[in-house]
Structure 1
Amino acid sequence: MSKRITPFASRYCSTLDRLKEAIRRKSPGLLRRGVVLQHDNATPHSANLTQQWLQRYGWEILPHPAHSPDLAPSDFRLFGPLKCHLGGMAFETEDDLISELRNWFANLDVDFFRVGINSLLSRWQKCINLHGDYVEK
């Protein structure tokens, strides 16, 4: 019995297509060396369509224990500062919001991302030491 393709998986694969193109433009050597992607266990990420996409391009997935938001860089490093930045703002249109988000991302220091990714090492080690249990921040 085959799983039906969800619109969320299809949209996620479109996002991966855009990511692949951005990597190709900005750092083509990375695609040749291989991409290691971390995403959580959300349905669009684990869907057959997504798994086929990842296999076709040879992208490796860094395993992600269930219920471990502290191991997802977006949860522990990105959303808090983004929430602070957007706090109290109101947007008249979706385009206004998108513009603000683009500006915010464009103005982040490259170390913002480096620190977030590098801190994964210690978080993963804690998770391993706790045999997969939740790792506090």
Structure 2
Amino acid sequence: MQRYGWEILPHPAHSPDLAPSGFHLFGPLKCHLEGMAFETEDDLISELRNWFDNLDVDFFRVGINSLLSR
């Protein structure tokens, strides 16, 4: 990158714009999707909707309460 004269900008390890509820979501979603392959975007969307529809009613409450306070 330096060879082309591009400036290398530091970036945070996390997104400051990410809501805590969103942060809690990615680990379980990644585990759920592991090993799956989708032929179309519609297949992926269908699987995501199915996953969200079947979340435990306490999923977000438990996740938010498990976050460390800043």
TM-score by length of 1: 0.35
Q: RMSD in angstroms over aligned alpha carbons? A: 9.3
State the percentage of identical aligned residues.
93
Specify every segment of 5 or more residues in structure 2 that has no aligned partner in the other structure, as ranges.
Answer: none
Q: Distance in 2 between matches of 1:118 and 1:64?
A: 27
CA distance in 2, matches of 1:118, 1:58: 46
Q: Distance in 1 between matches of 2:51 and 2:6?
A: 28
* Structure 1: gaps spanning 5 or more residues: 1-53, 124-137
The alpha carbon displacement at 1:78 in A equals 0.7
Contact kept, 8 Å, 1:70 with 1:76, in 2: the verdict is no
Aligned residues, how many? 70
| Structure 1 counterpart SS, 2:13 | coil
- More helix by proportion, 1 or 2? 1
TM-score, normalised with respect to structure 2: 0.63
Flag the structure with more relative contact order, 1 or 2, with Cα contacts below 8 A and sequence separation at least 6: 2
CA gap 1:99/1:68 in 2 versus in 1, 3 angstroms: closer
Q: Is the 8 A contact 1:91 1:97 kept in 2?
A: yes
